Structure 1
Amino acid sequence: MLTTVWLLLSLGVPLLGFYTPVSCPQGQKCQLALLSDHDVLLECPNGKHWKYYSLTSKEVRILDSSTISNIEITSWGNLVINKPLPSQSGFYHCWQENVTQVTQFEIDFQNINFLHVTHKNLDTTALLNESLHLGAKQVMFTRWEPWQDCDRCGVPGERKRLGYCYVDEPLEDPIPCGLYLGESLGWLSRMQPELQIEACFVECDKKKPFSLFGSVTFDNFIFNEEQESLFLSCPLTSIYRPVSWEADNIPLTWQNELSGKNFNSSLDIVSGGRLLQVFQPATYRCFVDQEFVAQFNPSSTPVESLELVGPQMRKHKTQATARKAHSFSLKLKLLLMVGTSLALGLLLFNALCSLQGKNRNRMLLVK
């Protein structure tokens, strides 16, 4: 029974893991750049109300879960933006019950579809600095985030870092391109976010804390005559976290992907590797933060698959694959919510029963 509870929890709790938390000191204004199409959670302790100023429409809106379809306010007052659009760049104000402003986020959601990808082991180069216009002192450049951890340990892996377009103006702090330009000049070719990858190797940390979520195995993805490929989705990950895949114990690397050597699969760039397009049956495994998270075993029986996103012909291997996963994501999140509810109810029932029996052995669940 405990195994069942742990499986349900491992399916349900990760719902929170899909969101990248973004914080800002209380009473401060924080400017930052993020990527479109990747969920974020704007933290606001003790917040009760949210207002949004749009850079596109120049309008101020009061936000709630019914105002904009991809925005939710949690019971703790945080703001969740699901798959943010570039047009949702703007100022997000958090207010307390007494109409005191807690914090303000000034966010530029840079377009993931124009992501410039390079690999240090290949003959590819990052974007060069560029003047805003001829003779201008303002320069557009890439501000790089720190390198993420190596995606594997004990074996060769890869690590990545994200870079965002910023404008450097003399005597001023750099500003994200979208916030600086607004709608004044429209979209410029240099306004591209970047993803840079390099090979890495690290030893496994034996003192690393035990993983909370464990792993999940899916045994029901199949190929049929109408489908030449399927999409597998690795739980708990986004482009902001290290993720890696392997097929039959063979690593599927970004280096091979970018050089066209992943013949039987394709890592999806827009999702940051969360989605894997596969063209033949194999045992696929994914790792997040060096932890084994999920395994996908091919099935020989024609059953409906949670991992099936939709049919896709080999010639259509493009960055638009992330949109194909939308229906899968909704179904999976619904299943996870049901699993979480059942698991928490069962845990509560067990806890009440254990309190009634003083002579029973006590069991401590450690997270």
Structure 2
Amino acid sequence: VVLSFGPFLWPALIHASEFVIEEKEDIFKIQSCPAFLMFQNAAYLADMTFELPCLCKPEDVTSVVWYYQKDLGKGHTKVLSDFHGTKILDASQLRAGLDIQSRFRILMFSLLVLNAQPQDSGHYMCGSVKGDYFYGYDIDVQSYKNAHITFKEKEEKPMLDVETKTYKVFTSYWNWTVCDRCGVRGEQRRIGLCYIRSPYLYFRYKKILTNVVSCGSGAVPRRYQHILKKRKTEIMIRSCFVPCATRYPSIEGEKFIFDVFGFTNDKNKKTPQVPVQTHIHAIGYPLTIACPDARAEHAVAWDKGRRPLYREEYMVGVNRSMRLYIDQGNHLVFRAIQLNDIGTYYCWREGQLMAGIRLRIGLPPRIHRNFTDEESIFAMQTILSTYFILTLIFIFLKCMKCCNYYFDCF
């Protein structure tokens, strides 16, 4: 279930004099393409959306084509455009249920990768229709599954660096996110991705720093790859408090102390005035709720009514037996809906209360089976196969009995 609400449009009178047209210098006139194709290394977290600009091209080229290759020099090269910037041309990858057009977008000369996954890692090149390459990227999309999670309040320690004479494996951390709530105790998240420093990296890759690339880069020699597979993405969580700008004023110190222990000192607190959507879901079935316009790198929080669902208790990986948890993509996940899940769930994004979903429980839908359904076909195949095997066993036993009787007579 994805909550989305349309923007409010307010009429306004705009005068042409308010706009100033600026002529910017064409980047392609000052940026020359390298004579030898190099690959710029960049690392991203799974479920992120990122843009790859084509930073150079000849002036006479009016449109570019994007190419993708998983491993450099191995396998065929995919064309990520049909020369109109709409879809992939690799017909071998087309299958039922796969929405190709929702995975890539091409804006002018840039490639936009939506909700990137670890399998999207590889080499991206912009070039011409004839197959001439202008600029290349070495993209490493690191998974957040089985991430190493640490909570600062629990004084948990991050993973240690691994250093030898020939390489050093370490974690490079992003900045802390903004506080995911305001007016009450919130949480901040910090993501760390895996990097390696070594003088033995392949020379065709542009490094972020001297001899430093992400762990999934094509610049890493094969002899190091089995070591890097054991390294996990790191996520750090800490508590925070920020006052709300206007709508939810509170006394910082007193409010924070109360919220730390799960209480509130505001008895007149009203239900938040945000858009609420009602959803009826069948009991016993899984459900995943996403916050509107939220991405994996955003600061997102969830509340059930007035009770905050803190990552300290509900983050995936904290307890493997959890039926309700928040995954690393900021989704609220129910393994199986139960009666006690009835309620209104609110989501925060970047410290602002965004929307709510009123969850109601319904009976499972009645399913009418046909003989052409996949489940019916599988059931009939299983029954007939079992009947055939039992028939063969029966005939074999009968033959053995007849043979035994025949040899006893002689």
Q: TM-score range by the shorter chain?
A: 0.5 to 0.7
Match for residue 347 of structure 2? Answer: 286
Per-residue deviation, residues 330-367 of structure 1 (Å, max 9, x unmatched) = xxxxxxxxxxxxxxxxxxxxxxxxxxxxxxxxxxxxxx
Match for residue 192 of structure 2? Answer: 163
Q: How does 1:127-142 map to 2 (within 5 A)?
A: 127-131=159-163, 135-142=164-171
Is 1:50 matched up with 2:66?
Answer: yes
AA of the residue aligned to 1:108: D
Q: Could you tell me which of 196, 199, 223 is aligned with 2:239?
A: 199
| SS at 2:342 equivalent | coil
Match for residue 174 of structure 1? Answer: 212
Shift of residue 260 of structure 1? 5.0
CA distance, structure 2, for counterparts of residue 47 and residue 255 of structure 1: 49
Q: Is the 8 A contact 1:71 1:81 kept in 2?
A: yes
Shift of residue 263 of structure 1? 7.1
Shift of residue 30 of structure 1? 3.7
Is 1:268 matched up with 2:327?
Answer: yes
Q: Is the 8 A contact 1:223 1:281 kept in 2?
A: no
Shift of residue 78 of structure 1? 3.4
With over 3 angstroms needed to count, the CA separation of the structure-2 counterparts of 1:103 and 1:81, relative to structure 1, is: same
| SS at 1:221 equivalent | strand
With over 3 angstroms needed to count, the CA separation of the structure-2 counterparts of 1:257 and 1:52, relative to structure 1, is: same
* Paired positions, count: 272
Q: Could you tell me which of 297, 319, 344 is aligned with 1:240?
A: 297
Shift of residue 122 of structure 1? 2.1
Shift of residue 108 of structure 1? 1.1
Per-residue deviation, residues 186-242 of structure 1 (Å, max 9, x unmatched) = 4435432211111111223459xxxxxx96422123353x44x53322221122110
The alignment yields a C-alpha RMSD, in angstroms, of: 3.7
Q: How does 1:1-367 map to 2 (within 5 A)?
A: 7-9=5-7, 27=31, 30-44=40-54, 48-55=64-71, 58-59=74-75, 60-64=77-81, 65-66=87-88, 67=90, 69=100, 71-95=103-127, 103-131=135-163, 135-169=164-198, 172-179=210-217, 180-181=219-220, 183-188=222-227, 189-205=229-245, 216-224=275-283, 226-227=284-285, 230-257=287-314, 265-269=324-328, 271=329, 273-277=330-334, 279=338, 280-299=341-360
Q: Which consecutive unaligned segments of at least 5 residues does structure 2 have?
A: 9-26, 34-38, 56-61, 82-86, 94-99, 200-208, 248-272, 366-410
Per-residue deviation, residues 156-181 of structure 1 (Å, max 9, x unmatched) = 11111111111123693421111142
Q: Which consecutive unaligned segments of at least 5 residues does structure 1 have?
A: 1-5, 11-24, 208-213, 305-367
Greater shift in the superposed pair: 67-76 or 106-115: 67-76
Q: Is the 8 A contact 1:71 1:79 kept in 2?
A: no
| SS at 1:256 equivalent | helix
| SS at 2:216 equivalent | helix
Q: Is the 8 A contact 1:223 1:230 kept in 2?
A: no
Q: Is the 8 A contact 1:122 1:255 kept in 2?
A: no
CA distance, structure 1, for counterparts of residue 105 and residue 221 of structure 2: 26
| SS at 2:145 equivalent | helix
| SS at 2:153 equivalent | coil
Give structure 1 regions of 4+ aligned residues with deviation exceeding 6 angstroms: 96-102, 261-264
CA distance, structure 2, for counterparts of residue 300 and residue 36 of structure 1: 32
CA distance, structure 2, for counterparts of residue 184 and residue 9 of structure 1: 52
What TM-score does the superposition give when structure 1 sets the normalisation length?
A: 0.62
| SS at 1:91 equivalent | strand
Shift of residue 286 of structure 1? 0.4
Shift of residue 90 of structure 1? 2.1
* Higher Cα Rg, which structure: 2
Q: Is the 8 A contact 2:301 2:347 kept in 1?
A: yes
Shift of residue 154 of structure 1? 2.1
AA of the residue aligned to 1:32: A
Per-residue deviation, residues 299-344 of structure 1 (Å, max 9, x unmatched) = 366699xxxxxxxxxxxxxxxxxxxxxxxxxxxxxxxxxxxxxxxx
With over 3 angstroms needed to count, the CA separation of the structure-2 counterparts of 1:57 and 1:83, relative to structure 1, is: farther
CA distance, structure 2, for counterparts of residue 284 and residue 215 of structure 1: 11
Match for residue 253 of structure 2? Answer: none
CA distance, structure 2, for counterparts of residue 300 and residue 114 of structure 1: 31
| SS at 1:121 equivalent | helix
Percent sequence identity over matched residues? 22
What TM-score does the superposition give when structure 2 sets the normalisation length?
A: 0.56
